[in-house]
Structure 1
Amino acid sequence: MKVALTGATGFLGPGLVQGLLEAGHQVHILGRNLEQALAKLPTGVTGAVFRAGEPLAPEALGGAQAVIHLAGEPVSQRWNHDAKQRIRDSRVLGTRAVVEAMRAAGTVQRFVSASAVGYYGGAHGAEPLTEESAPGKDFLAGVCQGWEAEAQRAREVGLRTAVARMGVVLHPEGGALHTMLPPFRMGAGGRVGSGKQYVSWIHRADAVAALRFLVENPELEGPINVTAPEPVSNAEFAHTLGTVLGRPSVMHVPGFVLKAALGEMAMVALEGQRVLPRRLTEAGFSFRFPRLEEALRELLA
C-alpha cells in the first residue's frame, strides 16, 4: 500500500521509510524542507510540503491508503512559555491538520499517530502501567491527551486509528542514549535523582518495527504502548550501561542539579513510568531486543 509519513527525517523516520520500502510499500513523505528530505531518503520516495500549524491540502497525501504521523517539536529543551506552546501546538494543531486532510482525501483507511508514555504522568513509582491506566496531570500528560484526542477524531469518519505511546527510544545517534554516552564513557555516569524511577525504553529497531506492525495490522485500534517488555529502574539502566561500556557507573546526579540545569523538563528524567506493552505483546509482536543489556550491546558494539 501507499503510506504517507510525517517526521520522515527525524529520529525514527529514515529507518521506518527503509522498512516500509523493504516490505513492498510505497512511501510518500510530508515535510517542511521537502527537497532536502528527499535527498536523504532512497530513490522512489515521493513527497509534498507540510508545515505544522498550517492547513494540509488533501491532495498532498498523494492518494495514500495509510498515514503515519510522527512530526512534533522536540521535547528535550528547557520548557519556557514559548517552548511549551511550540511543543503543544506542533502536536495538537499538526495532528488536527493531518486528520482534516485525511477526511477530505477519502483514500486513507489506516492512521497511526505517535504519542508518548508521558501520557501517564510521573510519580507512579513501580506501579505497572498498561493502555488502560489513567492519564497523568502534568504538562506532558496534558499535551499527550490533547494530541491523542485530535488523532482519535479520525475514527469519527471510519478511519482505523492507532495511537502509539512511544517510550524512550534507544540509539547512539540521538535521544537519551546519545546524551548519556559521553559522561558514561568517561567513567562519570551514574543514576539520576533517587534512581528508583523507571525507564520505559525500546531499541530503535523494535520501535520502527512496531510502527510498521501497527500499519499492517489495522484491527489494532486505540492506544498501544510501544516500549520493551522489561522496563528498568534508572539505577539499573545506569549500571547496565556502565557494564556494557566497561566503565564505572557510581556517580550520582542529584535531582536539584538536574532541575537547575533543565527546569521543569527535569521531571521527565526524575519521575519516569513503568510502562508495559500489553496490547502489542498480545497481538503477537515479537521484540528483537526485549532485555536492556542485549539491546545496549547490539547498539554499542
Structure 2
Amino acid sequence: MKILITGGTGFIGKQLVNALSQGNELTLLTRSAGKAHLELGSHHKLLGNLGALSSLDGFHAVINLAGEPIADKRWTLEQKQMICHSRWDITARLVQLFKASKTPPTVFISGSAIGIYGDHDANTKIDEHFSLAHFKETGQEEKFPHSVCARWEESAQEASEYTRVCIVRIGLVLGLKGGALKKMLLPFKLGGGGIIGSGKQGMSWIHQEDLIGLFLFLLQNNQCQGIYNGTAPHPVNNRTFTKSLGNALHRPTFLPMPAAALNIALGELSELLLEGQYVYPNRALEAGYHFKYPDIDSAFKQLFAAQ
C-alpha cells in the first residue's frame, strides 16, 4: 500500500512507521527531513508540507497523527494556539485534498484523545456512544482538551463523504521511549513516586503495542469506521496505577503529589493529571480486536521485563 502519514516522527508515529515499513510505500509529512532520516531510515519518501500536493491520488490510505505535544509545556495562550492549529490546519488541508482527488484513498485514520469526554468519576463508564452533549446537559465547564478534540474530529469527519473515516481517541500510551510514562519514571525509580491529588481520578491507558495494533486493525478491516477508543479494556484509578507501577519497578510509592502543588507548578496543564475518566474500547472489541495487554499489571510487566 501507498500510505501518507502525518506525525510520523512522534512517539506513536515512529512505532507506526516501523510497523508499516515492510511491504508498504510510506510518505511522511515532516518539518525535519534530517530527523526523519536519522530516526526512521532514508528509504521513506518525505514531504515538507501538504501544499506540495494537489490531491491524494496515488495513495491508498492516510494516517493523521500530526500535532504539537499537548503535555510538553505550560498552556500559555501561544502554546494553546500551537496545540490547536497544528491539529486543525493539517486535518482541514487533508480533507481538501480528499475532495480534490479523482480516486481518493480508501481510508482516513485520524487521531484524537479521550480528553474530549471531560472529567468523570468511576460511576460513569464511557464508551464510544457516550454523549458529548453532557457539557451542556450538566453545566460542566468545557475544558481545553475537549474543545481541541471536538473541532479536530469534526474536521476529520468531513472526509467521510469521500472515504472511510476512523477516528481513534487515544488514552495514556504506555511506552518507555516517550509519552507520559517516560516522564514519570525518574521519580518512581528514585523511590519518590506516589499518588497524584486524590488518587481517585481515572487513568484510561493503553500499551503502545496495542495502540499500534489497533491502527493496523482499522487500516486492514474495511467494515470499521467511525469513533474508536484507543484504550485498554480495564481502566484504573490513579492510586491503582501508581501501586502497579511501583510494584513493577520494585520501588515504594509513599510520596503523594498534592493537587495544590501541581496547580502551582503546571497551571492549567495540571488538569491532565488531576482529572480523568474511565474509558472502554467497546467498539474495538466488538469489531474483533484482541488486546495483548488488557490489564495494567501485564502491561507494566512486559515493559519492564528487560529492565
Same fold (TM over 0.5): yes
Is the contact between residue 190 and residue 238 of structure 1 (CA under 8 Å) also seen in structure 2? yes
Query: Which residue is equivalent to 1:110?
Result: 107
Is the contact between residue 194 and residue 257 of structure 2 (CA under 8 Å) also seen in structure 1? yes
Whether 2:91 is the aligned partner of 1:95: answer: yes
Match of 2:63 among 49, 62, 68: 68
Instruction: Read off the aligned partner of 1:148 and give its amino acid letter.
Output: E
Query: Which residue is equivalent to 1:144?
Result: 149
Query: Which residue is equivalent to 1:18?
Result: 18
Query: Which residue is equivalent to 1:241?
Result: 245
Is the contact between residue 111 and residue 170 of structure 2 (CA under 8 Å) also seen in structure 1? yes
Is the contact between residue 2 and residue 61 of structure 2 (CA under 8 Å) also seen in structure 1? yes
Match of 2:116 among 116, 119, 129: 119
After TM superposition, the structure 1 = structure 2 runs for residues 212-251 of structure 1, keeping only pairs within 5 Å, are 212-251=216-255
Per-residue deviation at 1:162? Answer: 0.6
Query: Which residue is equivalent to 1:58?
Result: 54
Q: Deviations over 1:194-217 (max 9, x none)?
A: 000010000111111111111111
Distance 1:196 1:56, change over 3 A: farther
| Aligned sequence identity (%) | 40
Q: Deviations over 1:83-139 (max 9, x none)?
A: 111111111112101111222233311100000001101134441101111225211
Query: Which residue is equivalent to 1:2?
Result: 2
Whether 2:158 is the aligned partner of 1:163: answer: no
Instruction: Read off the aligned partner of 2:153 and give its amino acid letter.
Output: E
Is the contact between residue 57 and residue 105 of structure 2 (CA under 8 Å) also seen in structure 1? no
Match of 1:263 among 264, 267, 271: 267
Instruction: Read off the aligned partner of 1:67 and give its amino acid letter.
Output: V
Q: Give the secondary structure class of the aligned counterpart of 1:161.
A: strand
Per-residue deviation at 1:182? Answer: 0.6
Is the contact between residue 56 and residue 98 of structure 1 (CA under 8 Å) also seen in structure 2? no
Structure 2: unaligned runs, 5 residues or longer = 136-141
Q: Give the secondary structure class of the aligned counterpart of 1:67.
A: strand
Give the superposed CA RMSD: 1.6
Query: Which residue is equivalent to 2:139?
Result: none
Distance 1:85 1:5, change over 3 A: same
Instruction: Read off the aligned partner of 1:140 and give its amino acid letter.
Output: P
Q: Give the secondary structure class of the aligned counterpart of 1:111.
A: strand
Instruction: Read off the aligned partner of 1:295 and give its amino acid letter.
Output: A
Is the contact between residue 130 and residue 275 of structure 1 (CA under 8 Å) also seen in structure 2? yes
Q: Deviations over 1:253-287 (max 9, x none)?
A: 01111111111111111111100000001111111
Q: Tell me the distance in 1 between the aligned counterparts of 2:52 and 2:181.
A: 34
Instruction: Read off the aligned partner of 1:7 and give its amino acid letter.
Output: G
Is the contact between residue 126 and residue 197 of structure 1 (CA under 8 Å) also seen in structure 2? no
Distance 1:148 1:84, change over 3 A: same
Q: Tell me the distance in 1 between the aligned counterparts of 2:270 and 2:52.
A: 34
Whether 2:202 is the aligned partner of 1:207: answer: no
Distance 1:126 1:262, change over 3 A: farther
Is the contact between residue 68 and residue 112 of structure 1 (CA under 8 Å) also seen in structure 2? yes
Instruction: Read off the aligned partner of 1:155 and give its amino acid letter.
Output: S
Structure 1: unaligned runs, 5 residues or longer = none
Q: Number of residues paired by the alignment? A: 295
Q: Give the secondary structure class of the aligned counterpart of 2:109.
A: strand
Distance 1:103 1:56, change over 3 A: farther
Match of 1:192 among 191, 196, 214: 196
Query: Which residue is equivalent to 1:45?
Result: 44
Per-residue deviation at 1:291? Answer: 1.1
Query: Which residue is equivalent to 1:176?
Result: 180
Is the contact between residue 170 and residue 203 of structure 1 (CA under 8 Å) also seen in structure 2? yes
Whether 2:27 is the aligned partner of 1:32: answer: no
Q: Tell me the distance in 2 between the aligned counterparts of 1:41 and 1:180.
A: 26
Q: Give the secondary structure class of the aligned counterpart of 2:256.
A: strand
Runs of 4+ in structure 1 deviating by more than 4 angstroms, as ranges, are none
Query: Which residue is equivalent to 2:81?
Result: 85
Q: Deviations over 1:28-57 (max 9, x none)?
A: 211112343134224532221127xxx462
TM-score, reference length from structure 2? 0.92
Is the contact between residue 108 and residue 159 of structure 1 (CA under 8 Å) also seen in structure 2? yes
